[in-house]
């Protein structure tokens, strides 16, 4: 045999195991995609039920129970009421390493009741709605977890798949208490997703966030006959708000401070004896949130002193900014590209076009639901998430899929409407498939986990020690009451 022929033969011999492995991976992934597709209607029905329940943070009893029962029936062991939260749970299958977590949310938002129609239409008797699509979030994540569980069982691969049932993302910081309780201490990688109006999986961050309710106590009196005897708690709230609003000029431009007065008194002719204001403070950096927090508290204390009222405040939640992990995010992105975006049928196009009429000049081409946005690193959106705390202790990656009509804003009636239709369900299946393929990659190529872990440690620093921004407070189970 001539030398070139011999070299070619040796190369083919060396490459044959790699080719065989590549074919196996392709075969496995095709089977996983088929499994998710086959069960799509089952999980769409679960999502529809949770959409109908529309339970707000820490009150998601039916939603949590439905997901727990679904996973239990699929062969997962369930640990209920974790982190002192009745609706939080962890569903596990398998043993040994790696331990891969998939997050599932299921809380709704108050004040955004909406039917699944393309015009604004409140559902009578409903005061909340899934304006952030968490009904889809929980169902898709459960679908992915079950698909991976079935693969682990049939393949004989070692490893543990976990579904984390995480309540009260909307202002209740459910995941923070779960991190604080050590429930992620042995996890090697965490995957999550979120409903959106587009398809993307980038290594980007979010805003750190801390919130609190400031309560002022005064002295009631007749506002006309004896105002001098009164001390207005509402004056305390308004004085605080005025000082904080003046403070906005003197904080970093990336800061976000917003509030609502949740109690302002009962009648104009009664000096309010009690008033309450609810504040959020956000910034891309945790330390700056802490600085802003101290200044807002000082403003509240000064307001109480100046109005002769008494002040109490309660921290409701505190969230870290997302720590982007480029290694995991790129793996997620590659799988999203393989899965592809959302394609509408004629009925869905008509629905989407009607919804888009409500956007005014903010219309986006409906066909963009089928596109995958390019991979990006750095920067981030204006929102906050309690996934942030997890991302500082475990390598974490997420994606968004087009569950809403392109151009839709989160926390809107349009998001609730589309989330209750086949448009939302199609985006949910894209997420389930992408999560499934990414989890498979992590189970079959632990080198990715190792690289992601190195990246996380480089970014947090060797001396980093996690401490929850919300301190040692107990979960605010009644914060939506």
- Confidence check: pLDDT of 378 > 90: no
Distances in Å between the Cα of 105 and the Cα atoms of 136, 146, 209, 322, 399 are: 8, 16, 19, 17, 14
pLDDT band at 9 (very low <50, low <70, confident <90, very high): low
The secondary structure element, H or E, covering residue 350 is helix 346-356
The residues spanned by each domain of the chain are: 28-205+322-460, 208-319
pLDDT band at 2 (very low <50, low <70, confident <90, very high): low
Nearest to 31 by CA among 153, 131, 159: 153
Over residues 323-355, the pLDDT tens digits come to 999 999 999 999 999 999 999 999 999 999 999
Nearest to 325 by CA among 255, 393, 381, 382: 393
**What CA–CA distance (Å, rounded) separates 339 from 392?**
28
Quote the tokens at residue 124.
Answer: 């009578």
What mean pLDDT comes out for the span 381-398? 94
- Whether 28-205+322-460 shares its CATH topology with 208-319 is answered no
Structure confidence at residue 362 (pLDDT): 79
Tell me if the domain spanning 208-319 has CATH number 3.30.70.360.
yes
User: Into which CATH architecture does domain 28-205+322-460 fall?
Assistant: 3-Layer(aba) Sandwich (3.40)
- Confidence check: pLDDT of 1 > 70: no
What mean pLDDT comes out for the span 123-143? 97
Over residues 208-228, the pLDDT tens digits come to 999 999 999 999 999 999 999
What's 231's DSSP letter?
B
- Confidence check: pLDDT of 3 > 60: no
**What CA–CA distance (Å, rounded) separates 101 from 451?**
17
Structure confidence at residue 7 (pLDDT): 60
Over residues 39-50, the pLDDT tens digits come to 999 999 999 999
Structure confidence at residue 360 (pLDDT): 87
**What CA–CA distance (Å, rounded) separates 36 from 428?**
11
* Stated pTM of the model: 0.92
**What CA–CA distance (Å, rounded) separates 103 from 3?**
55
Structure confidence at residue 243 (pLDDT): 98
Percentage of the chain lying above the pLDDT 70 cut = 96
Over residues 227-275, the pLDDT tens digits come to 999 999 999 999 999 999 999 999 999 999 999 999 999 999 999 999 9
């Amino acid at each position: 045999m001539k030398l070139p022929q011999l070299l070619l033969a040796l190369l083919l011999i060396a490459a044959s195991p790699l080719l065989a492995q590549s074919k196996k991976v392709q075969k496995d992934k095709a089977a996983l995609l088929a499994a998710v597709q086959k069960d799509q209607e089952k999980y769409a029905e679960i999502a529809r039920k949770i959409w109908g329940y529309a339970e707000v943070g820490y009150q998601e009893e039916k939603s949590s129970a439905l997901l727990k029962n679904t996973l239990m029936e699929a062969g997962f062991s369930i640990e209920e009421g974790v982190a002192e939260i009745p609706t939080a749970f962890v569903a596990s299958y398998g043993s040994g390493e790696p331990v891969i977590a998939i997050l599932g949310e299921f809380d709704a938002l108050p004040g955004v009741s909406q039917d699944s129609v393309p015009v604004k239409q409140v559902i009578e008797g409903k005061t909340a709605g899934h304006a952030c699509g968490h009904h889809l979030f929980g169902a898709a994540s459960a679908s992915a977890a079950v698909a991976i569980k079935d693969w682990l069982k049939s393949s004989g691969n070692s490893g543990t798949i976990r579904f984390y049932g995480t309540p009260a993302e909307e202002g209740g910081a459910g995941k923070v208490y779960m991190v604080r309780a050590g429930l992620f201490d042995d996890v090697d990688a965490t995957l999550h997703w979120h409903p959106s109006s587009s398809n993307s999986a980038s290594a980007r961050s979010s805003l750190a966030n801390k919130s609190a309710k400031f309560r002022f106590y005064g002295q009631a009196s007749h506002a006309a006959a004896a105002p001098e005897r009164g001390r207005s708690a509402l004056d305390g709230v308004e004085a605080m708000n005025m000082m904080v609003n003046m403070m906005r000029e003197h904080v970093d431009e990336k800061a976000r401070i917003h509030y609502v007065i949740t109690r302002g008194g009962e009648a104009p002719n009664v000096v309010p004896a009690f008033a309450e204001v609810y504040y959020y403070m956000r910034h891309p950096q945790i330390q700056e949130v802490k600085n802003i927090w101290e200044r807002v508290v000082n403003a509240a204390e000064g307001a109480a002193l100046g109005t002769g009222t008494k002040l109490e405040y309660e921290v409701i939640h505190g969230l870290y900014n997302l720590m982007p992990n480029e290694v995991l995010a790129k793996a997620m992105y590659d799988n999203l590209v393989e899965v592809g975006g959302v394609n509408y049928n004629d009925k869905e196009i008509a629905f989407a076009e009607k919804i888009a009429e409500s956007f005014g000049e903010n219309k986006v081409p409906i066909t963009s639901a089928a596109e995958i946005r390019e991979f990006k690193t750095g920067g981030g959106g204006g929102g906050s998430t309690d996934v942030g705390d997890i991302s500082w202790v475990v390598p974490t990656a997420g994606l968004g899929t087009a569950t809403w009509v392109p151009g839709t804003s989160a926390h809107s009636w349009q998001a609730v409407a589309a989330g209750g239709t086949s448009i939302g369900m199609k985006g949910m299946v894209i997420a389930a498939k992408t999560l499934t393929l990414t989890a498979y990659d992590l189970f079959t190529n632990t080198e990715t986990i190792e690289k992601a872990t190195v990246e996380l440690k480089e970014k947090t620093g060797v001396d980093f020690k996690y401490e929850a921004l919300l301190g040692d407070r107990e979960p605010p189970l009644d914060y939506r009451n």
